[in-house]
A and B are shown apart, each in its own frame.
Chain A
C-alpha cells in the first residue's frame, strides 16, 4: 500500500495560479489514513525588501526557473523527506512567470500518522527548497526591476537539517 501511495507524491511547476485551499482539500481527501496533515503556503509580498527604497510597493514579480532541474530538485526533496520521516504522502507546487501581490507562489503539504513527522517534513522541504530549487525572483517597483538577493538566514535554516535526522 505504501508503495502505491508514493506514486501519488506530486511535484507541479506551472505558471497558472492555484488555490491553496482547494489544493489542501484535495490533498486531505487523498489521504484518509493519515492522522496528521501539515501545509505551508508562500505568497507574494506587496513590498520589497531588496529594492531601493526598502519597503517600496511591488507592482509585480517575475519568477524565472530552470525547466527540468526545478522539477528534479523538488522531487529529490520529497524523496529525502520520505527517507527522514514516516510520511504517507507529500506534495509541492511552485509557480513561475509573472505574479501580482498576494498571489500564492509555493504550496507544500505533508501527511503522516502523527504531527511530529508532518510538521518537520513540511518545514524541511521548504528550507531546502529555498536553497536548492532553481527559481529566481525579480521584483518590479516604480524604480524598475530588481533581482531578489539570497538571504543568509535561508542558508542557515537549510544547513541545520544537514546534521538532523528524525
Chain B
C-alpha cells in the first residue's frame, strides 16, 4: 500500500511517499496514523496534532474511524487551502 504525504505533513515526515505493509490488527485510518507515527521522529511530529490531519483513501476524503482495508493508496494532508 502506498502512503502519500502533502504540505507540512510531507515536510515533517521528510518524504512525499512510501510503501508500507501494516500488521493485520491495523485496520482504521486512526490505527494507521498511530502505527505510522511510531516509524520515525518525523512521522511522530507530522501526526502529533490529529485534529489537523485529514485523510483520503484512494483519492476520496475519509474520516479517521473508517477502514482503509483494500486501499491502493492512502494520503495524509492538512485541511485544504486552495481557491
Residue pair A94, B82 in contact (C-beta under 8 Å):
yes
Complex contacts, A129 vs chain B, CB 8 Å: 82-83
Chain B: residues with Cβ within 8 Å of the partner, total of 17
Residue pair A150, B78 in contact (C-beta under 8 Å):
yes
Q: Name the segment of A3-11, A27-35, A111-119, A134-142 touching the other chain.
A: A134-142
CB within 8 A of B78: which of A42, A69, A133, A147?
Answer: A147
A94 to B83, CA, bound (A): 7
- Chain A: interface secondary structure? mixed
Contact A66:B4 (CB < 8 A) given known A105-B83, A135-B83: yes
Residue pair B7, A132 in contact (C-beta under 8 Å):
no
Residue pair B56, A106 in contact (C-beta under 8 Å):
no
Chain A: CB-nearest residue to B8: A147
Q: How large is the interface on A (under 10, 10 to 19, 20 to 34, 35 or more residues)?
A: 20 to 34
Residue pair A150, B56 in contact (C-beta under 8 Å):
no
Complex contacts, B10 vs chain A, CB 8 Å: 64
For residue B81, CB closer than 8 A to chain A, the reply is: yes
A133 to B82, CA, bound (A): 7
A100 to B57, CA, bound (A): 33
A42 to B82, CA, bound (A): 10
Complex contacts, B78 vs chain A, CB 8 Å: 136, 147, 150
Residues of B1-34 whose CB lies within 8 A of A: 4, 6-8, 10
Complex contacts, B77 vs chain A, CB 8 Å: 66, 134, 136
A73 to B75, CA, bound (A): 14
Q: B18 to chain A: closest CB distance in Å?
A: 16
Chain A: CB-nearest residue to B83: A130
Other A-B contacts than A66-B77, A133-B83, 19 sampled, CB-CB below 8 A, are A64-B7, A66-B6, A68-B59, A69-B56, A69-B59, A94-B83, A106-B82, A126-B83, A129-B82, A130-B80, A134-B77, A134-B82, A135-B83, A136-B78, A136-B80, A136-B81, A147-B78, A147-B81, A150-B79
The chain A residues found within 8 Å of chain B, CB to CB, are: 42, 63-66, 68-69, 72-73, 94, 105-106, 126, 129-138, 147-150
